[in-house]
Homo-oligomer: A and B are copies of this chain.
Amino acid sequence: MNRTFRWVGTFTLCLLLTQTPVWAQSRESLYQVSTINALLIGLYDGETTFTDLLRHGDFGLGTVDQLDGELIVLDGVAYHVTADGAVHQLPGEQTTPFAAVTFFEPDLSGALPAGMSLPELQQALDLLLPSPNIFYAIKITGTFAYVKTRSVPKQENKPYPILSEIVKTQPEFEFNSIQGTLVALRAPQFVEGINVPGYHFHFLTHDLRGGGHVLELETLSGQVEIDLTHQFEMLLPNSQDFYEADLRSDDLDEVENPKSTLRLYSTIK
């Protein structure tokens, strides 16, 4: 707890020096395809091409047509962590059923303290951010003592199983002393059902050989950059599946932070 507060103290000093007034630009919008609840209930068919998605942002996260793994958009490139743990660059004509991107233009920055777990990192960020009521894109570049990620396997047959069933056997990956980038979003509570309220972290290694949806981590050193985002855009699918979907679901926590014991383990590093 002491460590967290010290970090915030150091951090705040940096912020005052780097904050820039960029509110009014249309590049300051988080652009989203579909809704998180549509994904939770199995609407995995791609709706938007990556060519289209990257017109709305160069930084973000999501998944790929047929729930084929985890998406990380970084520096304008759409990377794909498949269920075998490998990283591929996504072709422009490939599609996504759910993704959220923005043009990353940091308003705040500071040094990443060592020794923080994922909950500690989130707690520290919470103390730092000016409000829980807007959106944030968060880029953390550095070396991590440990990162544990998961991906999800491509679904071949409809009707697709719901996401909370799929994550019960998700492949997971561990990385030690790894260089890479955390690509994260923080959304307000009032977008429940639309996006993930709170934090959502994906990870990509610096050597582009691994990554995924982050389950656990321990920080070592690096740079935190934060883009305050007051605008939000959402494109709803124009599909019969979406039109007819019952979009009520309370599976989100089970999917984002799965606690199941039925897992396939796989370690890259």
Contacts and interface: CB of A to CB of B under 8 A. Distances in A.
29 contacts: A23-B238, A29-B233, A37-B190, A130-B243, A131-B242, A131-B243, A131-B244, A133-B236, A133-B242, A133-B243, A133-B245, A134-B236, A134-B243, A135-B236, A188-B247, A189-B247, A190-B193, A191-B194, A192-B193, A194-B194, A230-B236, A230-B237, A230-B238, A231-B235, A231-B236, A232-B233, A232-B234, A232-B236, A233-B234
Contacts of A235: 230-231
Nearest to A191: B194
A56 to B, nearest CB: 11
Contacts of A189: 247-248
Q: Report which residue of A188, A191, A232, A234 has the largest number of chain B beta carbons within 10 angstroms of its beta carbon.
A: A234
Interface of A: 23, 29, 35, 37, 130-131, 133-135, 188-194, 230-238, 242-245, 247-248
